[in-house]
Amino acid sequence: MKPVAWRVLFCLAAGAVAFCAPVWAQQYDQNLFGEMRWRCIGPFRGGRTVAIAGVPGKANVFYMAAVNGGVWKTTDAGNTWQPIFDNQPTGSVGAIAVAPSNPDIIYVGSGEGLQRPDLSVGDGIYKSTDGGKTWQHLAGLRDAQQIAAILVDPRDANRVFVAAVGHPYGPNVERGVFRSSDGGQSWQKVLYKDENTGAADIVFDPSNARIVYANLWAARVAPWEIRSGESFISSGSGLYKSTDGGDTWHELTKGLPGSADGLGRMGIAVAPSRPSRVYASVEARRNAGVYRSDDGGESWERVNDDRRIGGRGPGAMGIAVAPNNPDILYVANTSTWRSTDGGKTFGGFKGAPGGDDYQRIWINPSNPEIIALSSDQGAVISVNGGATWSSWYNQPTAQFYHVTTDNRFPYWVYGAQQESGSAGTMSRSDYGEISFREWHPLGVEEYGYVAVDPLDPNILYGGRMTRTNQGLGEVANVSPEPVRRGEYRYDRTLPVVFSPLEPHTLYFAANVLFKTTDGGLSWTPISPDLTREAYGIPASLGVFTASDPEKGKHRGVIYAVAPSFQDGNVIWAGTDDGLMQITHDGGKTWQNITPAGLTAWSKVALIEASHFDANTAYAAVSRFRLDDLRPHIYRTRDAGKTWQEIAKGLSDNAPVNAVREDPERKGLLFAGTEASVYVSFDDGDDWQPLQLNLPHTSMRDLVIHGDDLIVGTHGRSFWILDDITPLRQLSDEIAKSEVTLFKPQAATRFRWNRNPDTPLPPEVPAGKNPPDGAIIDFFLRSAASSPVTLEILDAKGSLVRRYASTDKPEPIEEIAKHHAIPMYWVRPEQVLPAEAGMHRFVWDMHYPPPDALDHEYPISAIFRDTPRHPLGAWALPGQYTMKLTVAGKTYEAPLTVRMDPRIQTPPADLAKQFEMETGAVAGLNQTYAAVQQVQSLRSELKDRAAKAGKKQLADAIAALDKKAAELAGATREGFFGLPPAGKQPENFSTLHQHFAGILSVADSADAAPPTQATAIYAELQAALKDLLARWEELKTKDLAGLDEQFKKAKLAPVHLAVNGTEVPRSAEISRTAGAQ
């Protein structure tokens, strides 16, 4: 018998079926799954951010862009941020400029505008003319890849300058300084040196927009990992000035470092109150620092050589001068520094141990107390000169390298976050939304992998290499080389992977592969150096080769490791210098199985071993660092003897970071590129987008957990696509059908919100929980010509719940009349769709809600997600049937309801809970109907009393009204306060409140109700029986007698009604009266 993967034991049966399932060689219409939705689960901890800009005339309005998280806007000085760029094809942004003459006009430059080993690139310039509501992707500069700065003329919003860095990994001509005079419709290259030199910064003289300063920067990033923060620099860098609006330029050199000093990037700032004063933060191998000119840049003096302050490369080199004082200077570095003496001395302004790594500084020209900073931790704003700051813990822009999950319920999602360490967050919260309460930092380094011990989710491994005990908070260094002495080579992102077949076996890779079976207490190398021995300098490095001190003698590391799901002796490995290797004997011997044509420094980003076949694997290969943006995915079905490239349908300008195989349906693959997520239904032969509502960003890794697909992004935190069962079921037959009711995943009874405390305010950031109930997916090829209905039946065939496309929810305005809270807390009511397309409907796993005389929303509320009605009885765990009726034809599918696995309540006790809940709901419905009937009676009596004339008849009417009033009781007035003291009189209203109370008791826990609750419930049932009998007597005797007097007085008989609908007097009030 073949070994069984421990982590997929739960789906053995499904897996066995899927192994034999046919593979459909086609793409499917997006409408078949278009209503599926990704949801962000955070964490809300900011990621690397460069671009930031404020609006001078609007002190609370700012724009910022995470380097791969798109553009965000705040209107409350950073208290909350809203994404305004999510529909654009890129999330990589390095520059934002707001037109001073018209703040509704915003220019956005895509690409990070940096040089570093791990970055993203863009596709030109975007423009908004309505404050970010809509965007236009401007023509031109599409190949600049990295826009570092944008400058808008203070008086003419159509006159724009752009500093384009160009390709980070290769030469190109679309770089340098560009100018537009027509709002970006066309561009003119006005400052250019060569294909290796770009522009990194550009600023105006604030007093004269004809005077422009620009920094040209000649730099290149190599495909191998070099020392952090270093790029190759050639002789093309320099500072330039134009005095004629960019028509001509001259280089400024006097007093500045030159090419012999290794001059690199600069940040430039001109003092608004003294424009002849110009500052520069200068990167150079020699003589770096802060420089100052007092003659408009013609001559320079280094005023500060402290490397903590200036000269950090190749970051954004942010520098800014106070608008009202030329001696007050701010410089961004690992901390932000402030000088009050023209740069001679500095004091720490904002920063923290570990390095916040600030990038840019924006100061409001009208108020120097208003300052905005971008950093590797996110964006922050101060309105009081830096005394206090807004938080970056409200920005879901984390950059993760990989993603993994554990086996808890609810499961947790883990990853290492660039610049911030690492994070774990719940996939769903017991408190209705995923906030700061549901995530926590881990003890794993900021780069690379996190691996969860399959036998103990409290134990995590990751980085280079640590073991974290989450329960104790201990982080132990268990690296094979705890003190680095150069025996092995390491990268920032090194695989840490458990065997899927042997939970004690953990693999860790450097340039060799290590194995431990004792939690890292000892390691065994099980491979030789698996990287390339032959040195090679790629052509993309070009003239920068001369800057390499090692003359190209670089070797890579193992970048991908994939143990087999079928054979414990088979391990696949890929390197960042372009090799693939395999072992069939647990590491004793290795074979080079590199695909033909895969050149040096093609990074094997990830290998996915097939869940179904030991000889099948998939490899995502990125040639991004070779200046190649094309996607590359390889597939082998013969253990690497032959490979096929499978990239049809993928965008041709986004490298692939990850490929994963669904463990249940053979041939169902998912891929993450530098911009999007894709799906293939035919083993990779064809790909199509699975982006849906997911913002475009770098998709670094994917993982399938149960029925969910999770993506770890490098710019927008973690996202989950709930319930991918429709993707697993898609077939040619379904694609051709008029109506499809997909077989749903098993639904877990999970309480919507257990929070007993004050709800989180709407401005506190939080991720969304999964849909609250059983997910029901169906597809209509065309709009239904008649009402669509959905019925849920129990195992006996009894109706549990019914929905129809003609249902008309109570208008929110009507609901608002009866409540003392804003209606933004209330969840929008879903109505069963009848339109064409795929639809995702949710049954909350409850019976119909009770009729309520009064409903107060619980303190455990969720912003825009609080159920608008009280909930009915829970459906018991078991088997149900869904019936979807469209155009007279009914489609059926089975549905399983299961308990939250953390709850071990015996079925008999759940049945007792169900009995009390259904009885309490019936009591609520009956008392509600009774009160409605009594109220309609009293209304009719009031009308007859006005027409009675004779005192005898008026007295009879008054006597009956009094008797009816005593039966009905008084409905609750107001919204707050304690119930009246002492024993309350028995009437329908008080009984209604008591049934509501007993329903709350029964629903408070998934257990048998307490004995005392059962006793009270019995008393309520007896009291209800008595009151209903008294009501029947009133109708049949008292009211009948009064009718005779009405007849004599020629008055109409009394009619009874519930919710405006007449009911026969003879009809008894049923247990389901008024039930939806």
Dump pLDDT digits (tens) for 758-770: 899 999 999 999 9
CA atoms in the 13 A half-sphere facing the CB of 174 = 14
Instruction: Please give the pLDDT value at position 1073.
Output: 53
Instruction: Please give the pLDDT value at position 641.
Output: 98
Q: Are residues 912 and 889 in the same domain?
A: no
425-456 pLDDT, tens digit each: 999 999 999 999 999 999 898 988 999 999 99
DSSP string computed for 226-259: -STT--EE-TT-EEEEESSTTSS-EEE-TTS--G
Average pLDDT over residues 564-575: 98
**Percent of residues, the chain, with pLDDT higher than 90:** 80
Q: Are residues 495 and 543 in the same domain?
A: yes
Average pLDDT over residues 581-608: 97
610-622 pLDDT, tens digit each: 999 999 999 999 9
Are the C-beta atoms of residues 355 and 332 closer than 8 Å to each other? no
Instruction: Please give the pLDDT value at position 230.
Output: 54
For 347, 1031, 1053, 1068, the CA distances from 966, given in Å and listed in that order, are 78, 11, 22, 20
Q: Is 265 contained in some domain?
A: yes
Q: Give the residue, 813 or 200, on which the prediction is more confident.
A: 200
Comparing 345-349, 412-416, 542-546, 884-888, the range with the smallest average pLDDT is 542-546
Q: Are residues 114 and 33 in the same domain?
A: no
Q: Are residues 869 and 946 in the same domain?
A: no
Q: Are residues 921 and 895 in the same domain?
A: no
The backbone region for 969, taken as left when phi is positive above 0, alpha when psi lies in -120 to 50, beta otherwise, is left
Q: Is 68 contained in some domain?
A: no
Are the C-beta atoms of residues 349 and 358 closer than 8 Å to each other? no
Instruction: Please give the pLDDT value at position 820.
Output: 82
Q: Rounded to an integer, what distance in angstroms lies between the CA atom of residue 152 and that of residue 158? A: 8
CATH number at residue 221: 2.130.10.10
- Binned at pLDDT 50, 70 and 90, residue 226 comes out as low
Helix segments in 739-858, DSSP class H: 812-816
Residue of 767, 720, 721, 715 lying closest to 90 (CA atoms) = 715
Q: Are residues 798 and 676 in the same domain?
A: no
CATH number at residue 890: 2.60.40
Q: Is 460 contained in some domain?
A: yes
For the chain, helix (H) and strand (E) counts, in that order, are 9, 68
| Overall number of domains in the chain | 5
Q: Are residues 828 and 956 in the same domain?
A: no
Q: Are residues 163 and 266 in the same domain?
A: no
What's the gap between Cα 954 and its chain centre? 68
900-922 pLDDT, tens digit each: 999 999 999 999 999 999 999 99
The most distant pair of C-alpha atoms in the chain lies apart, rounded to whole Å, by 117
- Binned at pLDDT 50, 70 and 90, residue 1071 comes out as low
Handedness of CA 167, 171, 172, 177 (dihedral sign): positive
Domain boundary among 318, 343, 366: 366
Q: What residues have CB less than 8 Å from 582, skipping those under 6 apart?
A: 570, 571, 572, 573, 590, 591, 593, 639, 640
Instruction: Please give the pLDDT value at position 227.
Output: 53
* pLDDT reading at 851 higher than 70: yes
Q: Is 498 contained in some domain?
A: yes
Q: Are residues 292 and 434 in the same domain?
A: no
Q: Is 72 contained in some domain?
A: no
Instruction: Please give the pLDDT value at position 17.
Output: 32
Residue of 239, 251, 249, 341 lying closest to 282 (CA atoms) = 239
Q: Are residues 331 and 228 in the same domain?
A: no
Kindly report the average pLDDT of the chain as a whole number.
92
Helix segments in 840-950, DSSP class H: 907-947
The one-character DSSP state at 17 is H
3-state secondary structure of 548: coil
Instruction: Please give the pLDDT value at position 817.
Output: 81
Domain boundary among 899, 924, 941: 899
Q: Give the residue, 1046 or 716, on which the prediction is more confident.
A: 716
Instruction: Please give the pLDDT value at position 93.
Output: 98
Q: Is 886 contained in some domain?
A: yes
Instruction: Please give the pLDDT value at position 30.
Output: 93
- Binned at pLDDT 50, 70 and 90, residue 14 comes out as very low
Instruction: Please give the pLDDT value at position 322.
Output: 98
Average pLDDT over residues 624-649: 98
**What's the pTM value of the predicted model, to 2 decimals?**
0.94
For 769, 843, 855, the CA distances from 772, given in Å and listed in that order, are 8, 8, 20
Q: Is 550 contained in some domain?
A: yes
For 348, 397, 593, 941, 1038, the CA distances from 947, given in Å and listed in that order, are 86, 72, 100, 10, 19
- In which residue are the tokens 């079928």 written? 566
Are the C-beta atoms of residues 928 and 1003 closer than 8 Å to each other? no
Instruction: Please give the pLDDT value at position 486.
Output: 86
Q: Are residues 757 and 711 in the same domain?
A: no
785-830 pLDDT, tens digit each: 999 999 999 999 999 999 999 999 888 888 888 888 888 889 999 9
1014-1069 pLDDT, tens digit each: 999 999 999 999 999 999 999 889 998 898 898 888 888 888 877 778 888 777 77
* pLDDT reading at 380 higher than 90: yes
Q: Rounded to an integer, what distance in angstroms lies between the CA atom of residue 664 and that of residue 724? A: 11
Are the C-beta atoms of residues 790 and 841 closer than 8 Å to each other? yes
501-510 pLDDT, tens digit each: 999 999 999 9
Domain containing 239 equals 88-243
Q: Rounded to an integer, what distance in angstroms lies between the CA atom of residue 991 and that of residue 836? A: 46
* pLDDT reading at 701 higher than 70: yes
Average pLDDT over residues 48-69: 97
How many CB atoms within 10 Å of residue 26? 12
Q: What residues have CB less than 8 Å from 558, skipping those under 6 apart?
A: 494, 495, 509, 510, 511, 512, 513, 527, 530, 531, 573, 574, 575
* pLDDT reading at 534 higher than 80: no
Cα 716–Cα 415–Cα 46 angle in degrees, nearest 5: 40
Instruction: Please give the pLDDT value at position 3.
Output: 37
Are the C-beta atoms of residues 1007 and 902 closer than 8 Å to each other? no
For 477, 552, 662, 776, 843, the CA distances from 709, given in Å and listed in that order, are 32, 41, 9, 17, 22
Q: What residues have CB less than 8 Å from 223, skipping those under 6 apart?
A: 169, 538, 540, 541, 601, 603, 625, 626
What's the gap between Cα 1052 and its chain centre? 64
Q: Rounded to an integer, what distance in angstroms lies between the CA atom of residue 901 and that of residue 920? A: 27
Q: Rounded to an integer, what distance in angstroms lies between the CA atom of residue 108 and that of residue 126? A: 5
Domain boundary among 874, 899, 924: 899
For 838, 947, 1062, the CA distances from 940, given in Å and listed in that order, are 50, 11, 12
Q: Are residues 850 and 967 in the same domain?
A: no
Q: Is 79 contained in some domain?
A: no
For 649, 777, 964, the CA distances from 27, given in Å and listed in that order, are 9, 20, 68
